[in-house]
Amino acid sequence: MSKGMWDDIPVDVGLVYEGERIRKKQMQVELGGPKITEKFELVQAREMDEIEDGKVIVVGPDISDMKVGESYPLGIIVEVAGGMVEKDLEAVLERRIHEFMNYIEGFMHLNQRYDIWCRLSQGSFKKGLNSLKIIGTVLTRLYKSEFTNVIEKIQVTFYTDAEKIKPLYEKAREIYNARDARARGLTDEEVPEFYGCTLCQSFAPSHVCTVTPQRISLCGAINWFDARAAAKVDPKGPNFKIEKGELLDPVKGEYSGINEITKKKSLGEVERVHLYTILSPYNHTSCGCFEAIAFYIPEVEGIGIVDRNFKGNTVNGLPFSTMANSTGGGRQTVGFVGMAIEYMRSPKFFSADGGWKRVVWLPANVKENVKDAIPTELYDKIATEQEAPDLASLKEFLKEADHPVKEYWTEEEEEEEEEEEAEAAAQMMQIPTQMPQMQMGAPQMVGGMIQLPMFGAVQFPAGAIGGLGGGQWKIILKNAKIYAEEMIIKRVEKPKKKQKKK
Ligand code: SF4
Ligand code: ZN
């Protein structure tokens, strides 16, 4: 970005502002966000004669007309034209709105599509950033400098008038849906390669998205076609081709090509990726902008899903935000994974774990949204916050509904015994450094090792175990409810072993 480029802009513009958070107390105004239902951002490809280059239009009140500390609706339409501009590029260009708006000092943009959330700081407002026209101008310049050979003309329109946004919001949702639908039916096996995205590395440095036809990116904004189009026109950009390499595990979805490129792009942090499971130490990494979180519920051996808009506590007693904090940041966390709502429509939706047969809890509005994807015979067996606000009611509900997850349940008595055993073992345990390579399975004694499911309380950030070096490590779990999966806990039988060796 050349220096003179921003001389007429009252605040600074640059990469350095990307991670900036604006707290409620510091904000001048909020645009979109949780208080506003209808909000969206959309990029549309146009013909050269349909738009005026550099033009920024504001429909509705501008920032200077807005009350301090209030929330307002926001719709953003970015129209682009040029010889290389094609429909397939819309989604990836759209995803860059997030990045480019965050370059503006004192301006924050979160999420994507129908879920955007922006804030302007009082500091930047005082410096003169008092109009969406300025923000639009920054956007047009950043787009043109980043996509020099692609975008020849760009025009930006901001809508802040609730009445005007309504029909456009509906239209935008139709467009998102049509994009998503395009990849439905295409399988991972039939395409020659996958694609990746590292756009979120500015927030989550070890995060690498693998985008396959049957696993849309976790932000939900970039599908296989989108990433492919972007990699073609902007090979040095955040989207890239992934050669599949060898299919190492068809069930969990592990490919040598994905492992290789993820390792390289995460600078060695992430070495292996399992695409179709939530129960692996090699779960897909999660950045921060996932549309929803899938969380394992050890008490019923099932999977719950919560979307970003769900208010209050989920069935496990935690709200979305708490789970997002322990899931995001580019980590691989057993039992927690960020995902797109659209992924629920994929035949590979947690297929390694049993797919829909394992889903036990969804927010009511998500259940309604993905009704078409839920196997009919399961629809009434999946609980929502209405039937199951907590674990006790969930268990009752699943029993009564005869949910297929019951297949995974052992006898209750056995369970309790195992829990006790696990608790005793966990008072103090030593974990072999190669632990994550161990197989997953039902709790059992194997030689001196106990293999048991363990979730919730303990989470190892990517690389934490592998990077420990030689020797053994002591991990003390306080107040932990012990269930383990993907983890082998070695019982320490100190005196015995030493004696034997002698
Ligand atoms: Fe790219 Fe993934 Fe971030 Fe979406 S979540 S912008 S696909 S890195
Ligand atoms: Zn992200």
- Supply the pLDDT for residue 409: 94
The DSSP element (H or E) to which 145 belongs, if any, is helix 132-146
Q: How far apart are CA 75 and CA 42, in angstroms?
A: 8
> 219: CA distance to ligand 2 center in Å?
6
What ligand is nearest to the CA atom of residue 203?
Answer: 2
C-alpha distances in angstroms, 228 versus 150, 183, 220, 255, 285? 15, 12, 15, 18, 20
Q: In 10 A of CB 427, how many CB atoms?
A: 9
Nearest CA to ligand 1 atom 3: 200
Those residues whose C-beta lies under 8 Å from the C-beta of residue 233, and which sit 6 or more positions away, are 84, 89, 147, 149, 150
Helix (H), strand (E) at residue 339: strand 336-339
For 260-335, list the strands marked E by DSSP: 292-297, 302-307
**Nearest residue to 171 via CA among 362, 42, 24:** 42
Contact status, residue 371 vs residue 379, Cβ threshold 8 Å: yes
Residues 6+ apart with CB under 8 A from 45: 79, 80, 81, 85, 86, 87, 89, 90
For the Cβ of 199 lying below 6 angstroms from any atom of ligand 1, the answer is: yes
Q: Tell me what pLDDT residue 419 has.
A: 55
CA of 239 to the centre of ligand 2 (A): 13
Show the domains of the chain with their CATH numbers: 15-181 (3.30.1650.10), 186-409 (3.40.970.20), 438-457+481-491 (no CATH)
pLDDT at site 103:
97
Report the 10 Å Cβ neighbour count for 431: 18
Q: Whose CA is nearest to atom 5 of ligand 1?
A: 219
Check residue 217 and give its pLDDT: 97
Query: Would the CB of 287 count as within 6 Å of ligand 1?
Result: yes
Distance 222 CA to ligand 1 centre (A): 7
Q: What amino acid occupies position 37?
A: T
Identify the segments of the chain with pLDDT beneath 50. 413-414, 417, 424-479, 488-490, 492-502
Q: Minimum-distance ligand to the CA of 287? A: 2
221 lines ligand 1 (CB under 6 A): yes
| CB of 230 closer than 6 angstroms to any ligand 1 atom | no
Separation CA 243–CA 255 (nearest Å): 9
Cβ of residue 209 lying under 6 Å from some atom of ligand 1: yes
Ligand 1 and 217: CB distance under 6 A: yes
C-alpha of 460 from chain center: 18
Q: What distance in Å separates the CA atoms of residue 447 and residue 438, rounded to the nearest whole number?
A: 14
Which residues have C-beta within 8 Å of that of residue 325, sequence separation ≥ 6?
Answer: none
Residue 43, φ and ψ in degrees, nearest 5? -110, 135
Using a 10 angstrom Cβ sphere, with 0-12 exposed, 13-18 middle and 19 or more buried, the burial of residue 475 is middle
* Paired tokens of 392: 């006790």
The environment of the single-atom ion ligand 2, i.e. residues with CB closer than 5 A, is 200, 287, 289
Query: Is 174 within 8 Å of 254 (Cβ atoms)?
Result: no
Tens digits of residue pLDDT in 152-197: 999 999 999 999 999 999 999 999 999 999 999 899 999 999 999 9
The ligand minimizing its distance to the Cα of 238 is: 1
Q: Which atom of ligand 1 is nearest to the CA of 211?
A: 7
Q: Return the bridge partners of 297, or none.
A: 302
Residues 420-444 pLDDT 10s: 555 544 443 333 333 333 333 333 3
Nearest CA to ligand 1 atom 6: 199
Point out the ligand 1 atom lying closest to the alpha carbon of residue 238. 1
What residues form DSSP beta bridges with 209? 197
Concatenating the DSSP letter of every residue in 246-267 gives -EEETTTTEEHHHHHHHHHHTT
Residue 222 CB less than 6 A away from ligand 1: yes
Contact between residue 351 and residue 276 where contact means Cβ atoms under 8 Å apart: yes
Whole-number pLDDT of residue 133? 98
Give the residue whose CA is nearest to atom 2 of ligand 1.
209
Could you say which ligand is closest to the alpha carbon of residue 199? Answer: 1
Instruction: Answer whether 462's CB lies under 8 Å from 330's CB.
Output: yes
Cβ partners under 8 Å of residue 230, min gap 6:
89, 92, 195, 222, 237, 238, 239
Separation of 207 CA from ligand 1 center, angstroms?
9
Mutation pick for ligand 1 pocket among 218, 239, 240, 331 (CB with most ligand atoms within 8 Å): 218
Query: Residue 213 C-alpha to ligand 1 middle, in angstroms?
Result: 15
Three-state DSSP class for residue 104: strand
Q: How far, in Å, from the CA of 289 to the mean position of ligand 2?
A: 4
